[in-house]
Every structure is written in structure tokens, then in C-alpha cells.
Amino acid sequence: MKAVIEYNSRKIAIDVSKPIDISIAIDATKENINAWYIDDPKIFPQKLDNDIIKVTEGAVVNFNNIHFNPHSHITHTECVGHITEEVHSVNQNLKHFFFVAEVVTVAPELINGDFVISKKQLQTQIRNKKRDAIVIRTLPNLPDKKSKRYSNTNPTYLSEAAAIYLKEKGIKHLLVDLPSVDKEKDGGQLLAHNAFWNTSGVLRMDATITEFIYVPNAVTDGEYLLNLMIAPFENDATPSKPILYKILVDEKK
């Protein structure tokens, strides 16, 4: 089923029956994705007056509590409030949810013992394209990304120069299949976060970083329409469900 969306000066047609979900869900029944040295998420039925509120226990409904951290356990979208003293909510600052995105695949470079996504690699991929969002898939791209235990593994991250380049290109929404755009243990510098959100100047309040995505290998690099859906949490970060749609027709109005 096709839909036509008018976006800026473009008329974009997509097939809404073919969404490409690049989120990773919480699944407490399996080995869940995990980072930042905390326990796994928990989904468990509420107890009331010693009764377990679960249909298999005789209740008329299932009534579960969910204990998790968005930064550690699920695909999440965060705003500058993640690194500022002043509280900023992603739910208040992300006001639009459809964007033209470029999916790129990068084989991180080995630099001083770390695997890093460099400015040069992103320049090669983006060139003179104008995009609102970039979706970065790193190689190797194995299904274990959806259940990997990242703590104390020094995962791939973006160089500060790469983050500055994305900011200067006008990229507002950065999506990565990593636990962070920064080095796991960097002494609190958070160079890529700070560069992308421009914390040394005018804060980019409407810019977001989405971490822990997974882009299937069947998805080709190129231009897509991104629907960046978030849960309405008043917090620096919230669980999110980014969906890609292949652009079928693109005409200027």
C-alpha cells in the first residue's frame, strides 16, 4: 500500500506495508542486549495482597512491571539532556518524527588499539548529499548485536572529528548500532556527544542520538524515509522504535 508524503520541497512515495524495523526489543525471557555494567531488565507480574496478577495464576489480566534502563537494555533515543546539568527531556525536544535518512555501512578503522568510525569514512559515504538523519551500520554485522553483552568490551565508537562533521553537515539525527557514540571508558570526556550537540556553543536541542539499533544485512545502503518513534517518557532518553521505508518515488513539487 503506497502513501505519498510531502516533505520540505519533495513529494516522497513509500510502501507503508513494508516497514523496516531497526529497533532492538527488551526480551527478558532471552539473553537481552546489555551495556554499562548493570543487571539485565526484568518483566514480572505485580503482586497485590499476595495475589500474583497473571492469568495463569488465576487473575483475569496480565499486569506486568518492567524494570530497565533505556541506555543499557533497548534501542533508545536521547537528547542533549543526557550530558547537561540542566534537565532536558527528549519527549519535549523531539517535535517531528519523519526524516530523510541515509543508511551507510562502515568497517571501523583500527586506531591506537580501538575500532573507530572516522570523519573520512563518513565523508566518503555522505559526500554532497543533504540528509536530516544518518543510520550507521558497522561491520561485521552479525545477529548477536541484538543480544551482545557490551560491558568492558571497548566497543566501536565515533571520532570527535566524525561527530563534528555530522553536525556541520546539518545531520540532526544520528542512529548507530553501538551502545554509545563515545569510547566506553574515556574519563568522562564524551567527545562525540559533546561535539554532535555543540555543547561549547548553541545547544542543538532538536538533535538526537539513537543507540542500539540493528540494521539487517538485507537492507541496502541508500536513502530512506525514517519514522523515529519514541515512548513519551519525560527523560533524557526514552525507548524508541525507528522504522525505515524505502523511497519509491521522489519528485520535486
Q: Which residues contact 233 (CB under 8 A, 6 or more apart)?
A: 70, 89, 90, 91, 239
Distances, alpha carbon 121 to alpha carbons 22, 125, 196, 226, in Å: 22, 6, 17, 22
**pLDDT surpasses 70 at 250:** no
Q: Would you state the pLDDT for residue 25?
A: 97
| Dist. CA 24–CA 169, nearest whole Å | 28
In the chain, domain spans: 2-26+70-252
Query: pLDDT for 205-244, tens place per residue?
Result: 999 999 999 999 999 999 999 999 999 999 999 999 999 9
Query: pLDDT for 15-56, tens place per residue?
Result: 999 999 999 999 998 999 999 999 999 999 999 999 999 999
CATH class of 2-26+70-252: alpha beta
